[in-house]
Amino acid sequence: MQSKKEIEKYVASKYVVDNLIFDDLIVGVGTGTTVNIFIELLSEKVNTDDLSIVCVPSSIETKLLLTQKGLTVSDIIENSEVDIYVDGADIVTENYDLIKGGGGAMTMEKILASSAHEFIVIIDSEKYPKELLSHPVPVEIIPLAVNTVIKPLFELGGELKLRYGTGKIGPIISDNGNVLGDVVFREEYNPKNMEKAINNIPGIIENGLFPEKADKIVIGIDNSVNYIETERIRKNK
């Protein structure tokens, strides 16, 4: 039997495939377990409806899955703009700011999100609403700068923890050949200012703060969805 979380990831993905995917779209595709479900449903729809969709992946893992599913894959060099970008998130705050990068792919994810006409986020109900402090901020660091970034991050209020996994000794290396870490903050911060401040540290390539970047958020809640158009809500505030 599927867990509540799996059902919610499925209904959020299905909502996007049924309502926001059309013929001839260039679709940026994120990374993670939620996106994997989206890819499965997307390939079914492309086959059933005989659609011409080009996918631009945000990671090697996503590229592999898209290819296995027979979808047409391109890259950000050939398609420097995508019509929509669909991705998951680690948490979403009540102001619709995101933290991403649980899968270590936030650099390409942010490039795709910023090159998309529309950034659509799919999550399960456990991830919204959450406080920023409930999740560390992933960072991608040039390998030789792993020690020099510690002090400036500390001055911003963060403690760097390099990310370790299994199957390799030493910190995890990103698709881009850099070191991945997570920065733990203990005091409230402004996500827009912090996103810039972290990226201003020499040696840091990118971080997982995505403030005010999502255009649409689809939250699976049991068997239904909460569909939020963030732009409209921000304008009416």
> With contact defined as beta carbons under 8 Å apart, do 218 and 121 qualify?
yes
> What does the per-residue mask of binding to ligand 5RP show for 82-101, with x meaning CB under 6 A?
-----xxxx---------xx
β-pair partners for 29? 57, 86
| 32 near ligand 5RP (CB under 6 A) | yes
In the complex, least distance from residue 1 CB atom to ligand 5RP, rounded to whole angstroms: 20
Among 30, 57, 136, 171, binds ligand 5RP (CB under 6 A): 30
Closest CA to 35 of 72, 71, 106, 86: 86
Phi/psi of residue 136, each to 5°? -70, 165
Applying CB under 6 A, what is the total number of residues that bind ligand 5RP?
17
Q: Which is nearer to ligand 5RP, 90 or 97 (CB)?
A: 90
User: Is position 109 annotated as part of the catalytic site?
Assistant: yes
Annotated ligand binding at 97? The verdict is no
Among 16, 39, 46, 105, binds ligand 5RP (CB under 6 A): 105
Q: Which is nearer to ligand 5RP, 103 or 136 (CB)?
A: 103
Residues taking part in catalysis: 109
